[in-house]
Amino acid sequence: MLENLKELALTTGFANISLGQFIMILVSFVLMYLAIKKEYEPLLLLPIAFGALLTNLPLAGLMEGAAMVNGKFQPGGLIYYLYQGVELGIYPPLIFLGVGAMTDFGPLLANPKSILLGAAAQLGIFVALIGAVLLGFDLKAAASIGIIGGADGPTAIFLTSRLKPDLLGPIAIAAYSYMALIPIIQPPLMKLFVPENERKIVMEQLRPVTKTEKILFPIIVTTVGSLLLPSAAPLLGSLMFGNLMRESGVVGRIAKTAENELINIITIFLGLSVGAKTSAEHFLTAETIKIILLGLFAFGFGTIGGLLFGRLMCKLSGGKVNPLIGAAGVSAVPMAARVVQKIGAEERPGNYLLMHAMGPNVAGVIGSAIAAGVLLARLG
C-alpha cells in the first residue's frame, strides 16, 4: 500500500517540478496580476500569462509534439497544435485582418503628411537592432528584438516566429508589456524633447474624407506595397482587406465578424500559444534580461524619432503642426493617440489633438508591417 502511494506521489507534478518551472509559474502569476488588476493589455497579456503557467506545469506535456512511444502513436499536447498557427504564420495576419476592420484611416487620408511621422517612429526598430548586434545577438535575433520598437505585438510575433522562434516568449512579453506602459513611458519623453510653446500648438480641423478615398486607399496600399515589398503582403494585405470590408459598406456581416468574433478567437489562441513558449529553459536566461532592456530602448527611440520629426514638421509648416502627434507614430492603436490627447489637453485645456494623432498612429501600423517585411526579405 505504501509503495503504491509512493509511486503515485512520484507521478505528481509536485515531485517533478524544477526550480526554473517554479519561478516561471510565479512569473505567470505576476503577469496575471498585471493583466487583471492593472489592466496592462489584458486581452493578450492574460492568455499569454496563462499559457506560461500551463507550459511550466511539470508532466502536463501541453507543448509536447506527437511521437511514437513503445510502438504506439502518442498525440501531441493541445497547445502544441494551437502553436502551429504561430509557426505557420496564420494568427498574426488574421489579427491584422480584425485590426483593419476596426481602423478608420480617415485621419491619415485627411493629412497624408502624417504618414511621415509613422515612418519616423520606426527609428526605434533599427536603433535597437544595432544595439542588439553590439550586445552579441546574431542578425536574426537582433531584428526580432528591434521590431519591439514598432509597438505592434502581432508584427513582433510574426517576425520572430519566422526569424528566431526560440525568442518568441520574451519578445512577445516585452512587446505587450511596453505597449501597456505607453502612458508611463511616453509623457516624460514628450516633455523632454518638445518645448512648452510647441506643446501648446492648436492644429486646424482636418478636412472631410470621401467614401471613394476610403475605398481606394486599402486597394492601392495593398497593390503598391506588396509589389514593392512582397514579404510584407501577409500583414499589409490582411490589414487592408479588413479595412476594405469596413469601408465598402456591402459586407457588414463579415466585417463585424472580423472585428469581433474572429479577432477574439484568434487572440485567445495566439496568447496561449505565445505564452507556452516561455518555458523555464528558454525564458530564464541572460538573453531575456537583455531583450527586456533593448525593448525599452527600442520603444523609447521610436517615440523620440516621432517627436523629433514632429518638431521638424512644425518648423517647416510655420508652427501649424503640434510635434506631440509624432509620439503617436508608434503603432499602439489607439493608446498612443490617447496619450497625445491627454498631454496636449494638459498643456492647453480644450486642445483637441486626438484625430490629428490618429493619422500617425494608423500610419505606424502600416510602417511596422513594412519594416517587418524589409527585415524578413533581408534575413528570412
Given this model, what pLDDT does residue 59 score?
A: 83
Amino acid at the residue 341: Q
User: 68: which strand partners?
Assistant: 73
Q: 66-84 pLDDT, tens per residue?
A: 887 778 888 889 999 999 9
Given this model, what pLDDT does residue 23 score?
A: 94
- pLDDT average, residue stretch 356-377: 93
Q: 77-103 pLDDT, tens per residue?
A: 999 999 999 988 899 999 999 999 999
Q: What is the distance between the alpha carbons of residues 91 and 94, in angstroms, rounded to a whole number?
A: 5
Q: 292-350 pLDDT, tens per residue?
A: 899 998 989 999 999 999 999 999 999 999 999 999 998 888 889 999 999 999 999 99
SS3 317: coil
Q: What is the distance between the alpha carbons of residues 298 and 321, in angstroms, rounded to a whole number?
A: 25
What contacts 107, CB < 8 A, 6 or more positions away?
114, 206, 355, 356, 358, 359, 362
Domain map of the chain by residue range? 81-374
- Contact criterion met (CB below 8 Å) for 126 and 152: no
Half-sphere exposure of 262 (CA within 13 A, CB side): 22
- Contact criterion met (CB below 8 Å) for 353 and 325: yes
Of the pLDDT bands very low, low, confident and very high (cuts 50, 70, 90), residue 218 is very high
DSSP summary character for residue 229: -
Q: What is the distance between the alpha carbons of residues 357 and 321, in angstroms, rounded to a whole number?
A: 11
Given this model, what pLDDT does residue 1 score?
A: 66
SS3 120: helix
- pLDDT average, residue stretch 282-301: 90
Amino acid at the residue 173: I
Does the structure show a pLDDT above 70 at 168? Answer: yes
State the Cα angle at 205 between 200 and 208, rounded to 5°. Answer: 155
Q: What is the distance between the alpha carbons of residues 346 and 301, in angstroms, rounded to a whole number?
A: 24
